Amino acid sequence: MIFNYLDKTIYKNNTSFYIAFFCKKIIPRNDITREDYPVVIEIHPDGRFEADIPLTNPSYSYFGFKNKPIKFYLEPEQTLAMILDWDEFLYADRMRNSLHNFKNIVFKGPLAKINEDLIGFNPKAFDYKSFDKKRKALSPQAFKEEETIDHKKNLENLETYLKNNSIYDKAKVLIKNNIDLEYANHLFDFVSNRDYYAKQDTTNVVLKIPVENNYFDFLQNLDLNDQSLLALEEFSTFVNRLEFAKPISIYPKTNSSSFTAEKTFEQYLEDEKIVISENDKTLNNSMKTKVFKSAAEVMEFQKQFSETFMNTLKAYSKKYVEPFISMPKPEKVTMEKWQLRDSVVKHVFHLEKNLVYEVIKIRAIDYDIKRSNSENAHAYWNELQKDITHPFLKEEGQRIVNKQYPITSFQNNSLTDNLNRNVKISATATQNKLPEGKATEIFKNIIKTHKGKILFIDFWATSCGPCVGSIKQMKEKRKEYKDDENFEFVFITDESLSPLEPYNNFVKEQELEKIYRLPSDDYNYLRQLFKFNGIPHYVVIDKKGEVINDDFPMYSFNSLLNGILEKYN
């Protein structure tokens, strides 16, 4: 729990503050499983604001007022009080074009001293404007040399800080690790989009300089088994950059690469006299040359296609591709993927298996088993966990698998035994009641007019590309089921993310019904209720107003609909 307080006397002449900032949110994130736990902070007229924050591990993070970050360190089952300085807020607002680190904070409680230690250190600010120019002007090695100098300066500043201040050992470790992670993230970011920039500027000689494997030797100087890394805000960026770094983003080859279909997809369209939309044509052409960093990016891109196009593509593949190639099962491909990446970690990064690499494996589980079924998913996890040494990671991995595929009465066979089995899953989550509280009241007030129907709820925004693409793709499906007596589609957005004019235009174009454009405060409460930050996010509610699935895979709507109707109708 965290308890925050602004001295109420500052409000005598500044009542607009707590009105303008009625509620804010913190987004604690489980970096092991990629799960968000948004928490709404309601500000009271006397300046008091408080929140219960769910934590799986200690966290050195921040909450923000008017885009100004206020850092704090918190541990599970601990209480922290903070008294903030209104004058410092006014100063930060005047300096709105620069980053301000809040220092005039009084901490109370058992974690007060470590919080004071942490905010007392001032690292050198990173120049992102200069960084963007360097990506196109410096070779990877030259940038690394420059960044290493700055990294050493920050470490020297830390030594000076430690000599002049008596701080907790835990604070020393956190500050040192944060400096190291920031350094690593800058190096990762520098090379992450070089291929893209090289294609944009084909005359730039610097961008043609390859990234040698020894560029990544900075990883060897990090203690990747230190659990305190997970407490840092920088860790979320670091683990993401590491898991998608070019050397490690490899997949097993299949025998489909040398296969040439009897007909191209375009020839199939012409022969079958199938007409696809101009939008689908544009997307299809761009997909042929587009470079994707991960399979997840491919799936997000495909959501922009219409349902007609995807069904046509499946029919073509079934007739002219699938009968002539032997595709391995997804679970087998996934295990082979980890064997390849194990080799990269050892022979390219020159690292032993470690905590961070095990976290990467746990983070991938949710995606790896989405295309599977219950038996194969659990069998895959049984194989994967043989390489997981940390008990708390095993617990998280098991929870993720159970969440997507609750254990039913099946034999817990080996992966090999289950590869050829096909179990139909009718629904992907167990039913649960909504907790009491303001968030549930807001939600029930929305769905009360739809009582007696199963609801497929879409949290979206006009400013969210994947949201817009998904809604367009489902347009024909919505028409097909427009008057269905069993279920309805409901759309909920945040007025700050969906400005009124584009919102009205899009709603009219897509013929959306059952639409709700909420004030940001109310929408944030629903983020908290259903534990999501990113959108689109889908929730399925039964006829009694209880949750069937709080993270529904809308791309599987066609295959899951009948099972849901059969179970919950």
- pLDDT tens, 215-228? 999 999 999 999 99
pLDDT at 5 over 70: no
* pLDDT at residue number 24: 60
At 398, the amino acid letter reads: Q
At 9, the amino acid letter reads: T
* pLDDT at residue number 419: 36
What is the dotted CATH code of the domain comprising 438-568? 3.40.30.10
pLDDT band for 409, please (50, 70, 90 cuts).
very low
pLDDT at 532 over 50: yes
3 state SS of 24: strand
What percent of the chain is modeled with pLDDT above 90? 47
Span 22-27, mean pLDDT?
Answer: 59
pLDDT tens per residue, range 424-461: 333 444 447 888 889 999 999 999 999 899 999 999 99
pLDDT at 199 over 50: yes
* pLDDT at residue number 9: 39
* pLDDT at residue number 21: 38
Q: Which two tokens stand for residue 464?
A: 């969210």
pLDDT at 16 over 50: no
Q: Tell me which of 239 and 52 has the higher pLDDT.
A: 239
Span 341-349, mean pLDDT?
Answer: 95
pLDDT tens per residue, range 114-133: 999 999 998 888 888 899 89
Which pTM does this prediction carry? 0.73
* pLDDT at residue number 294: 55
* pLDDT at residue number 563: 84
User: Could you state, in order of their start, the residue ranges of all structural domains in the chain?
Assistant: 2-119, 128-243, 265-324, 330-418, 438-568
Span 40-55, mean pLDDT?
Answer: 78
* pLDDT at residue number 339: 92
pLDDT at 292 over 80: no
* Structural contact between residues 539 and 550, judged by C-beta atoms closer than 8 angstroms: yes
pLDDT band for 422, please (50, 70, 90 cuts).
very low
Give the E-state strand segments of 66-168 in sequence order: 68-74, 80-84, 106-108
DSSP string, 329-384: PHHHHHHHHHHHHHHHHHHTS-----HHHHHHHHHHHHHHTTTS-HHHHHHHHHHH
pLDDT at 417 over 70: no
* Alpha helical stretches, state H, 251-302: 265-271, 278-289, 295-302
Mean pLDDT of the chain: 84
pLDDT band for 184, please (50, 70, 90 cuts).
very high
Span 513-532, mean pLDDT?
Answer: 93
Q: Tell me which of 95 and 354 has the higher pLDDT.
A: 354
